A and B are shown apart, each in its own frame.
Chain A
Amino acid sequence: MMPRPTFGLGLRKPHYAEFLSHKVPVDFVEVISENFMVDGGQPRRILREVRERYPVALHGVSMSLGSADGLDPAYLARLRALVDEVDPLFVSDHLSWSRIDGFSAHDLLPIPYTQEALSVVCANIDRAQAALGRTMLIENPSSYLALGPAEMTEWAFLESVCDRTGCGVLLDVNNVFVSAANHGFDALDYLDGLPHARVRQVHLAGHSQGEQLLIDTHDRPVPPSVWDLYAHVLPKLGAVATMIERDDDIPPLAELLGELATARRIAATGIRHAA
């Protein structure tokens, strides 16, 4: 039987009760790993209850895969414990860094696309995958600064990372749009140049116009420009898991399910569709 595409939502606090009291029509939910990497209490209890009802993907923001001084073993141990408890659909984090010399930026900072950075990222992913006992998905970040000079494109870098480590890709279509606008490359070149066979999951989100740059804010609906890119790339991918990612100004669940219906429609028809 051919695998089928699946559709999910990022699970956020305002919607916990609805997800636990009703059968929400999603194939999976994704949670921010760090929110549940606590010793116990209500967060872990809620996650266990959610897991009884839905497949769960764990999406991290603090692994810091691009750190020149390696990964935090305490972080990996906590994530491994969560992985063992949840048995997630995917475990993902970003192609970025946030920690150096014990300083933690709590942001997804850009890495230069160089051979040196490639070696660092691959060594860190190898270590993470060994610690977690499974392969990871690596998400392309939004970025506002090119640490240069680059020796390759971001998508070529991502492909090399996949080839060397065996990891998969979490393709954030909005991040491609934002970074393309901020750095002046063609988003279609990125989407056409990706290692399509490695893509397992897709994020869709909205962004905002800052003073000079587009900002990946996740605080508004998926815009038509991002839907267009999604429609462009989807036929090139296999049966991926698509989800809507909303982290701020979170609307009623019905609104997000409406966006998910748009994604399902695009996947079903395979035609370009602006929401």
Chain B
Amino acid sequence: MMLVVQQRAMRDWLRSGCAAGFDAGAAPGLAVYRNNHRAALVACLEAGFPRTRAWIGDDAFLDTVIDHVGRVPPSSWTLDAYGEDFPVTLALRYPDDLEVAEIAAIELALDRAFIGPDASVVGIDRLAGYDWDRAVLHITPTLELLEGATNAFELWELLSAGAMPPAAARLDTPRALFVWRQAGISRIRIADPIEAQALCRVRAGLPFGDLCTHTAEAFGPDEGISRAGVWLGRWITDGLVCAIDDDRSIL
């Protein structure tokens, strides 16, 4: 039998338990390989989503993991990537409990931030001397913006602390969550959707002066400029800004 045919037969065995192409004597070995394969995927999801597991319970979590393993074949060279689609599986299984997939999305984003690209950080003491009308902020590459329709953040926070979480609840208006890495540690905070929109535009290259103009148009000159200034201060202290470019220098 050609090598590629043998390898596809093994893949089919691992995926579906179909042992076509193998003789009966192969059964013990096939069982070991299938167990190894599935155990690796289960362990990966258990390690990646401990708060989600705590929220829905061990049995429901395992059922969902088995569903996911059946639905989503691993495709990356790294097991770390296997959890990428797990929030989708949770959303499909829990269509009326949106917080389940949102807790998983938080866990996934925190893990991604932990191993995301390194970047320098602009400190609060290095803001002088820029032409702020032209200044473009370079945002840390680990930043991920999530949208939350539920109190998943509070649930995740209390589950992380080992405390009894409250009941799940939908929010009146969706909110944003910022996830990033600062000083080697993954961080998360709630953000106003308007701040999130502003940060998205800045990350896309909108100069800070233009951001101030837009905010002034939306909120009036005083409040608009004030809001932009407060955001900038927070982004700097959060370590979200990794460089400032005003065409004269890059920090």
Contacts and interface: CB of A to CB of B under 8 A. Distances in A.
Interface of A: 34, 37-45, 62, 64, 66-69, 72, 74-75, 97, 99-107, 109, 111-112, 114, 116-117, 120, 143-147, 182, 210-213, 215
A105 B11 contact: yes
B3 A40 contact: no
Given A62-B78, A105-B14, A107-B36, A41 B3 contact: no
A contacts with B: majority SS: loop
B28 interface: yes
A45 B33 contact: no
16 contacts: A39-B116, A41-B116, A42-B114, A64-B77, A68-B3, A68-B7, A69-B4, A74-B77, A100-B7, A105-B10, A109-B10, A109-B33, A114-B3, A144-B33, A145-B29, A213-B32
Nearest to A108: B36
A112 B7 CA distance: 10
Interface in B66-125: 73-80, 82, 113-119
A17 B11 CA distance: 39
B37 to A, nearest CB: 5
A41 B114 contact: yes
Contacts of B37: 105-107
Contacts of A102: 75
A76 to B, nearest CB: 10
Interface in B28-72: 28-30, 32-33, 36-37, 40-41
B4 A100 contact: yes
9 closest A-B pairs by CB:
A145-B29, A40-B118, A144-B29, A68-B4, A38-B115, A39-B117, A100-B7, A144-B32, A212-B28
A143 B8 CA distance: 18
Contacts of A145: 26, 29-30, 32-33
Given A40-B118, A41-B118, A104 B76 contact: yes
Nearest to B117: A39
B197 interface: no
Contacts of B78: 34, 37, 62
Contacts of B33: 105, 107, 109, 144-145
A105 B8 CA distance: 11
A103 B11 contact: yes
Nearest to A142: B32
- How would you classify the secondary structure of chain B's contact residues: helix, strand, loop or mixed? helix
- Most chain A CB neighbours (cut-off 10 Å) among B7, B36, B76: B7
Given A40-B117, A41-B118, A116 B3 contact: yes
A115 to B, nearest CB: 10
A182 B32 CA distance: 12
B116 A116 contact: no
Nearest to A116: B3
B162 interface: no
Contacts of B26: 145
Given A38-B115, A40-B116, A112 B6 contact: yes
A213 B28 CA distance: 7
In the complex, which of the residues A42, A101, A103, A105 has the most CB atoms of chain B within 10 Å of its own CB atom? Answer: A105
B36 A104 contact: no
B166 interface: no
A117 B3 CA distance: 7
Interface string B124-155: 00000000000000000100000000000000
A103 B73 contact: yes
A104 B84 CA distance: 15
A38 B76 CA distance: 13
A64 B76 CA distance: 12
Interface string B1-22: 0111011101100110000000
A43 B115 contact: yes
Given A109-B33, A144-B33, 7 more contacts: A69-B4, A97-B7, A100-B8, A103-B73, A105-B10, A144-B32, A147-B6
A72 B76 CA distance: 9
A152 to B, nearest CB: 15
A212 B28 CA distance: 7
B15 A103 contact: yes
Given A105-B14, A109-B33, A120 B3 contact: yes
A215 B35 CA distance: 12
Nearest to B186: A41
A261 to B, nearest CB: 32
Contact of B77 (A62, A117, A182): A62
B117 A107 contact: no
Nearest to A42: B184
Contact of B2 (A37, A45, A116): A116
A40 B15 CA distance: 32
A162 to B, nearest CB: 20
A215 B118 CA distance: 39
